Amino acid sequence: EGFRYDVEGRGNPSDMPAFLPLSPTLGAALFAGTVYVFGTLLSGYPSSRLGSVYPARELGYDKIRGEYSAPAAAIFLVTSLYTLVSLLEGLDVYIQAGIYASITLFGLWVKLGTPVSMPSGPRDHPMDRLPEWDGKTHRFHAGWRVEVDQESHEITEKEVANGHKLTGEAAGRQMWYFDEKEAKCGPEDKSVLDFNAAKNPNASDQIFRDQQIRKWKAKGGKVPDKSWKPATALDTARKGMAFYQMLQCSDGHFAGDYGGPHFLMPGLITVWYITGKDESFISKGKREAMIHYFRVHQQKDGGWGTHIESPSTMFGTTLCYIALRLLGVPKDDPAVVKGRAFIKGQKGALYTSSWAKFYLCLLGVMHWEGHNSIPAEFWMLPDWFPFHPGRLWCHCRMVYLPMSYLYSLRFVYPEAETDLVTLSLREELYCEAYDSINWDATRHWVAPMDNYSPKPWTMRVAQDILAYWERLGGPILRLFRGYGLKFAIEYMKAEDLQTNYVDIGPVNKVLNMLSSWVDGGMDVKDDNFQKHILRVPDYLWVAEDGMKMQGYNGSQCWDTSFAIQAIAEAKLADEFPECTRKAYRYFERTQILSTEVSRATPAFKYEGEESRRRFYRHVSEGGWPFSTSAHGWPISDCTSEGLKGMLTLRPFDVIKKWKQAPPMTDQRYFNAANVLLTLQNFDGGFATYENNRGYGWYEALNPSETFGDIMIDYSYVECTTASLQGLVAFHKMFPKHRSDEIKASIANAKSFLKRIQRDDGSWYGSWACCFTYAAWFGIEGLVLCGESLESPSIRKCVEFLKSHQNDNGGWGEDFRSCYDKRYAIEGMKAYGDEQGSGVVPTAWALMAILKAKNPIDKVCIEKGIHYLMRRQLDSGDWPQEGISGVFNRSCGITYTAYRNVFPIWALGRYAREYIPIL
């Protein structure tokens, strides 16, 4: 046969090139270099792209961006190509060509194909049930008051009286407490305490608003004249703002109800119950207010939804049901009887979804054998492992962290065997006798109404293998589990300290709390547990539907930023000087780890490189949060919103001429830009809190059943546009700082925005309902990236919106758009107007079309603007309609500020930016 080299006449075997056609030393060095770079890229991934505030380079590795510098990347590329060519040299030309072609195609597919972040849809099985209530009006009692900032710290410290002090910035903290005086005088108009879910399950936050207005009046503030009927768009915005400014809190933030999900408060109540029903944890008054909440939201069929607008689900119902029982509502109470009938009608609690099962297991009213494994030893996998939990979306990761701890300990409420309520629940929740249940056989059971993301067979198999591991792991399991548990508790403590015990969200808050109690020897007096108690009020809100647990510790920074941008675009900033100054101060205090107070907390210590690597935390310093500085998790778009808020205000006279303006160094702006730059993904888009660290196939391992697309931090149209806006605003103010990177970032983002646009011109909205919201971001983003206003991408989206406008000029999709991934054309019929329009989606659609600045859209725009004008209430407020926010595809969340801020903004944009081009 001989060598091909002979045949081709290229010499005889003795001159055949060595394995690498180089000198052995150079070849070996290059090979080692490639392996090193490639290896680090792969293995360090979850912990390497964490950014850094302090410029640092190490062997060509840029720690700020978490990437190799351009020369290092070029060397890497050349070396790998060279190595590849040498390796392929001996092969048949056709094979060589095939390999090169496949590599090229793969590259093109990655760069130009559908990004992994493209949400699928429309879904095959749209939601086919509607929620229904019995139509009764419930009146809540007066007496709850909200306090913010330092005063809120004082009240909590006095109420809880455990000697511990709250840490971190007080700005933005909101807490509700019961006040005898308020109970006696209360609101003048008692109807603000009324709630009727059949009319609208969304409370309109009347208690809070009423109090703010009373405070405003008491300080001599002017209330908009009810008889004034503004005749122009600008005056409507002005009146809207005159109303809205009354709601601003003393520390400058805009507050509001951030409730919606029904599955959160039951978690808190369960933990309160297990840890000994401490009065300072949930007082009697709060418990009653919570019971009120559950009662008014119960539906006709006896169940509760996953959130306020959802038809009943087993997830919502089992949790609200046990919550009522733990709060002391007896078994034969009519609401409980009805709730039980619903659960039994769905074949019992064995069919509720996994997150509800988790609480049942903790309480000892379900056996851990009936729960799929969440092994703590997963944390011990090496970082390079393709499915390391450090790569999960932070919310998913931070929830499964305490879950892994509690599951791995098989923790059960110690009194479960003797407690009369838990013993009774074992009978109430199931259709069969508790002791006769074969738990292991029920691990995968879930009612279809809960099963938004059915687990594929792969996940079932994985879970079945884990079930064997649980049973047969023996000493090996115990060894690794021991390390896993130790790491889990260390990680939770880090999270607690980094967030001043607020924690990233309401689910890990309560589970971390329980874990700290377990770790502290099941002692309520344990320091960590006591510090946790101080932060429980941060999550509670009171509205006319009672006391609820919010989806976050509020939406303070987010709402304040929108308020400021709306005022600025309507050019009203100088008309509302007090309001703008207060907001500026709020942003200043809220920038993460950037003020003296925030740097004095233990969180600052955790910002060090080593701990961030250990706990998979992206750089935080300089970012802005969604809520408060004390919460401390930066988010891409919230960083940008905070930055924009400050930069928008800087040029106004009210700020420029303000002698006591809080100091902002340039470095603080640089840090914010730094956070944003580090957060751009390889696909050009921006995710929420971190870079995307995993892969699309993780979704096949989503164990939650009820939620969709939660496994990794995808890039979103919303986060991408918002982040870009911050970078562009920054670039205008500081044109010399990292300008090349910013320009490159804009170009990359533009291509991402186009790739994620759907064929019909729309974008899918992941964080609010839905296509109108996303259209606003989509068009705004493209325009910002310099896309021509006539471009097909922009026009297609405008046409998409126009085709969904109702005759009365409004737009009105609702939560179902997000759930079904299909425009819910009659969305707002239930809670908006009779044609299905609503003010918030109308404002978003208008914001999008107005940004496309085209005279040909005039008729459509004016119809929309008149709609918003018509719908303004005499007070200057707008009505509360359907739920605006959403997360994880299947759960709605309230943003009461939206009904004010977006109409004001759209009207202002029309008056100031559109009329002039006509």
Catalytic residues, by residue number, are 637
Q: Binding ligand LAN by CB under 6 A: which of 893, 897, 901, 907?
A: 893
Q: Binding ligand LAN by CB under 6 A: which of 719, 847, 869, 883?
A: 719
**Residue 779 binds ligand LAN (CB under 6 A):** no
**In the complex, least distance from residue 625 CB atom to ligand LAN, rounded to whole angstroms:** 9
Kind of pairing between the strands at 304-305 and 138-139: unpaired
Identify which range of 341-349, 404-412, 499-507, 787-795 contacts ligand LAN by CB under 6 A.
499-507
Q: Binding ligand LAN by CB under 6 A: which of 592, 638, 673, 729?
A: 638
Binding string, 837-876, against ligand LAN, x = CB under 6 A? ----------------------------------------
The amino acid sitting at 198 is: A
Report the candidate in 796, 581, 357 with the shortest Cα–Cα distance to residue 573.
581
Left, alpha or beta for 709 (phi > 0: left; psi -120 to 50: alpha)? left
Q: How far apart are CA 599 and CA 577, in angstroms?
A: 30
Cis peptide before 122 (omega within 30 of 0): yes
Report the candidate in 213, 107, 133 with the shortest Cα–Cα distance to residue 682.
107
**In the complex, least distance from residue 723 CB atom to ligand LAN, rounded to whole angstroms:** 10
Task: Work out the number of other CB atoms within 10 angstroms of the CB of residue 790.
Answer: 9
**Residue 688 binds ligand LAN (CB under 6 A):** yes
State the distance between the two ends of the chain, measured CA to CA, in whole angstroms.
Answer: 81
**Residue 430 binds ligand LAN (CB under 6 A):** no
**Residue 635 binds ligand LAN (CB under 6 A):** yes
Task: Work out the number of other CB atoms within 10 angstroms of the CB of residue 16.
Answer: 15
79 vs 353 by CB, closer to ligand LAN:
353
The amino acid sitting at 471 is: R
**Residue 705 binds ligand LAN (CB under 6 A):** no
Task: Work out the number of other CB atoms within 10 angstroms of the CB of residue 328.
Answer: 14
Q: How far apart are CA 310 and CA 333, in angstroms?
A: 24
Report the candidate in 179, 227, 228, 226 with the shortest Cα–Cα distance to residue 207.
179
Q: Is 58 helix (H, G, I), strand (E, B) or coil?
A: strand
Residues with Cβ < 8 Å from 248, sequence gap 6 or more?
212, 254, 563, 579, 582, 583
**Residue 888 binds ligand LAN (CB under 6 A):** yes
Three-class SS of 762-789? CCCCCCECCHHHHHHHHHHHHHHCCCCC
Q: Binding ligand LAN by CB under 6 A: which of 714, 815, 819, 887?
A: 887
Per-residue burial over 473-504, b = 16 or more CB atoms within 10 Å of its CB, e = otherwise:
beeebeebbeebbebbbebbbbbbbbbbbbbb
Cβ atoms of 264 and 308 within 8 Å: the answer is no
**In the complex, least distance from residue 707 CB atom to ligand LAN, rounded to whole angstroms:** 6
Q: Binding ligand LAN by CB under 6 A: which of 149, 538, 637, 713?
A: 637
Report the candidate in 578, 554, 569 with the shortest Cα–Cα distance to residue 256.
554
516 vs 888 by CB, closer to ligand LAN:
888
Residue 396: C-alpha distances to residues 508, 683, 706 (Å):
9, 22, 13
**In the complex, least distance from residue 768 CB atom to ligand LAN, rounded to whole angstroms:** 7
**In the complex, least distance from residue 35 CB atom to ligand LAN, rounded to whole angstroms:** 38
**Residue 777 binds ligand LAN (CB under 6 A):** no
**In the complex, least distance from residue 546 CB atom to ligand LAN, rounded to whole angstroms:** 20
Question: What letter does residue 311 receive in the DSSP assignment?
Answer: P
Binding string, 451-490, against ligand LAN, x = CB under 6 A? ----------------------------------------
Segment 661 to 680, residues that bind ligand LAN, using CB under 6 A: none
Report the candidate in 261, 406, 259, 267 with the shortest Cα–Cα distance to residue 323.
267
Tokens of 886: 């959403």
Q: How far apart are CA 896 and CA 40, in angstroms?
A: 46
CA atoms within 13 A of residue 440's CA, in its CB half-sphere: 8
**Residue 771 binds ligand LAN (CB under 6 A):** no
767 vs 776 by CB, closer to ligand LAN:
767
Q: Binding ligand LAN by CB under 6 A: which of 626, 811, 831, 914?
A: 626
**Residue 119 binds ligand LAN (CB under 6 A):** no
Identify which range of 5-13, 589-597, 862-870, 887-895 contacts ligand LAN by CB under 6 A.
887-895
Tokens of 30: 């290059």
Task: Work out the number of other CB atoms within 10 angstroms of the CB of residue 524.
Answer: 16
**In the complex, least distance from residue 19 CB atom to ligand LAN, rounded to whole angstroms:** 50
507 vs 654 by CB, closer to ligand LAN:
507
Q: Is 145 helix (H, G, I), strand (E, B) or coil?
A: strand
428 vs 780 by CB, closer to ligand LAN:
780
177 vs 552 by CB, closer to ligand LAN:
552
**In the complex, least distance from residue 280 CB atom to ligand LAN, rounded to whole angstroms:** 25
354 vs 671 by CB, closer to ligand LAN:
354
Q: How far apart are CA 262 and CA 297, in angstroms?
A: 9
**Residue 552 binds ligand LAN (CB under 6 A):** yes
Q: Binding ligand LAN by CB under 6 A: which of 348, 389, 551, 908?
A: 551
**Residue 562 binds ligand LAN (CB under 6 A):** no
**Residue 767 binds ligand LAN (CB under 6 A):** yes
Mutual orientation of helices 771-784 and 739-755 as an angle, nearest 10°? Answer: 140
Identify which range of 334-342, 427-435, 500-508, 832-840 contacts ligand LAN by CB under 6 A.
500-508
Q: How many residues bind ligand LAN (CB under 6 A)?
A: 19
Identify which range of 244-252, 282-290, 403-411, 504-512 contacts ligand LAN by CB under 6 A.
504-512
704 vs 762 by CB, closer to ligand LAN:
704
As a dihedral over the C-alpha atoms of residue 868, residue 870, residue 871, residue 877, rounded to 10 degrees, the angle is 90
Task: Work out the number of other CB atoms within 10 angstroms of the CB of residue 114.
Answer: 10
- Helix runs in 734-770, H state only: 739-755
606 vs 895 by CB, closer to ligand LAN:
895
**Residue 896 binds ligand LAN (CB under 6 A):** no
Identify which range of 505-513, 670-678, 739-747, 843-851 contacts ligand LAN by CB under 6 A.
505-513
Identify which range of 380-388, 404-412, 503-511, 793-801 contacts ligand LAN by CB under 6 A.
503-511
**In the complex, least distance from residue 354 CB atom to ligand LAN, rounded to whole angstroms:** 12
CA angle (53, 623, 678) in 5-degree steps: 55
34 vs 550 by CB, closer to ligand LAN:
550
Three-class SS of 625-692? CCCCCCCCCCCHHHHHHHHHHHHHHCCCHHHHCCCCCCCCCHHHHHHHHHHHHHCECCCCCECCCCCC
**Residue 507 binds ligand LAN (CB under 6 A):** yes
**In the complex, least distance from residue 47 CB atom to ligand LAN, rounded to whole angstroms:** 22
Identify which range of 285-293, 434-442, 593-601, 634-642 contacts ligand LAN by CB under 6 A.
634-642
Q: Binding ligand LAN by CB under 6 A: which of 505, 632, 781, 892?
A: 505
Binding string, 370-409, against ligand LAN, x = CB under 6 A? -------------------------x---x----------
Residues at the contact surface with ligand LAN, assessed by CB under 6 A: 395, 399, 505-507, 551-552, 626, 635, 637-638, 688, 707, 718-719, 767, 887-888, 893
